[in-house]
């Protein structure tokens, strides 16, 4: 996929005039990525803003105890590391970005994008709107960890994943991510054993099942009751 074609598939860029999209194509770089590859780590110097071109990227933070908390998973066409934009000199990335599927990512150096935005401020509104949405999601993730019990946090995590990655099918809502119990636990700081025990309860009640590696939510309303 060419840089121009990729830009056309990014919502915040696709509405720009053709000439501006061509200018953006000149400052975008693309790299291939492999599953498990770390693109940048928490506290690395923030140098660029990234976009998922192909594959999926996990954004996570570490607790003082060394546990991983997954803040979000970025899929094709989505932006990440946007919080580093306009940061003061010496700013660092607030989280770690890890590829959970092989593919490629595109990126724009902060100084190049900042110069572009200063010349074309109409794009800034879309950027700030995305930043606001991301902040709300991050706050929701941390709220789940802090306020809900393990069962409630698991239910809240499944609901959020269904909203972001769910596809309606005859069986229910299929979450189009292949997640292990350990992966699920990393969203709210639970061990694999705890998640396995909780998921077994949901499976026994036919609220959630797994098919071909994908989780299927059969009863969203009942799942929401466990969140409270």
Architecture of domain 3-146: Sandwich (2.60)
39 within 8 A of 57, measured Cβ to Cβ? yes
Domain boundaries of the chain, sorted by first residue:
3-146, 148-227
Q: Which residue has the tokens 């946007």?
A: 82
State the pLDDT at residue 107.
92
The CATH architecture that domain 148-227 belongs to is Orthogonal Bundle (1.10)
The pTM assigned to this predicted structure is 0.76
pLDDT digits (tens, 9 = 90+) for 18-41: 888 888 888 889 899 999 999 999
Sort strands 48-54 and 38-40 into parallel, antiparallel or unpaired: unpaired
Q: Dihedrals φ, ψ of 51, to 5°?
A: -140, 135
pLDDT of residue 149: 72
Query: pLDDT tens digit string along 80-118?
Result: 988 777 677 788 998 999 999 999 999 999 889 888 888
Percent of the chain with pLDDT over 70: 85
61-74 per-position pLDDT tens digit: 887 777 888 888 99
What is the DSSP secondary-structure string of 89-152? TT-B-SSEEEESS-EEEEEEEHHHHHHHHHH-THHHHHHHHHHHHHHHHHHHHHHHHHHS-HHH
Q: Give φ, ψ of 45 to 5 degrees.
A: -55, 130
What pLDDT does residue 135 have? 67
Judge if 3-146 and 148-227 fold alike in CATH terms. no
For 142-170, write each residue's pLDDT tens digit.
665 555 677 888 998 899 899 989 999 99
Q: How many CA atoms lie within 13 A of 81 on its CB side?
A: 28
Please state, rounded to an integer, the average pLDDT across all residues of the chain: 84
What is the distance between the alpha carbons of residues 24 and 134, in angstroms, rounded to a whole number? 23
Q: What pLDDT sits at residue 148?
A: 60
Q: What is the model's pLDDT at position 71?
A: 84
| Locus of tokens 């409630």 | 152
């Amino acid at each position: 996929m060419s840089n121009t074609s990729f830009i056309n598939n990014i919502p915040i860029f696709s509405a720009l005039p053709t000439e501006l999209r061509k200018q953006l194509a000149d400052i975008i770089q693309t790299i291939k990525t492999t599953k498990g590859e770390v693109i940048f780590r928490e506290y690395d110097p923030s140098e660029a803003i990234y976009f998922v071109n192909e594959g999926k990227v996990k954004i996570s933070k570490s607790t003082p105890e060394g546990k991983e908390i997954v803040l979000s998973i970025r899929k094709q066409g989505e932006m990440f590391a946007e919080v580093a934009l306009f940061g003061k000199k010496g700013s660092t990335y607030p989280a770690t970005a890890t590829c959970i599927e092989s593919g490629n990512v595109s990126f724009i150096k902060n100084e190049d994008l900042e110069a572009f935005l200063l010349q074309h401020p109409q794009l800034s509104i879309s950027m700030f709107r995305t930043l606001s949405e991301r902040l709300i999601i991050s706050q929701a993730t941390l709220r789940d960890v802090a306020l809900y019990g393990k069962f409630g946090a698991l239910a809240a995590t499944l609901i959020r994943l269904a909203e972001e990655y769910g596809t309606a099918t005859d069986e229910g809502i299929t979450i189009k991510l292949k997640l292990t119990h350990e992966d699920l636990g990393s969203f709210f700081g639970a061990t694999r054993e705890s998640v396995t025990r909780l998921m077994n309860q949901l499976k026994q009640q036919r609220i959630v099942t797994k098919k071909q590696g994908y989780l299927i939510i059969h009863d969203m309303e009942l799942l929401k009751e466990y969140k409270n």
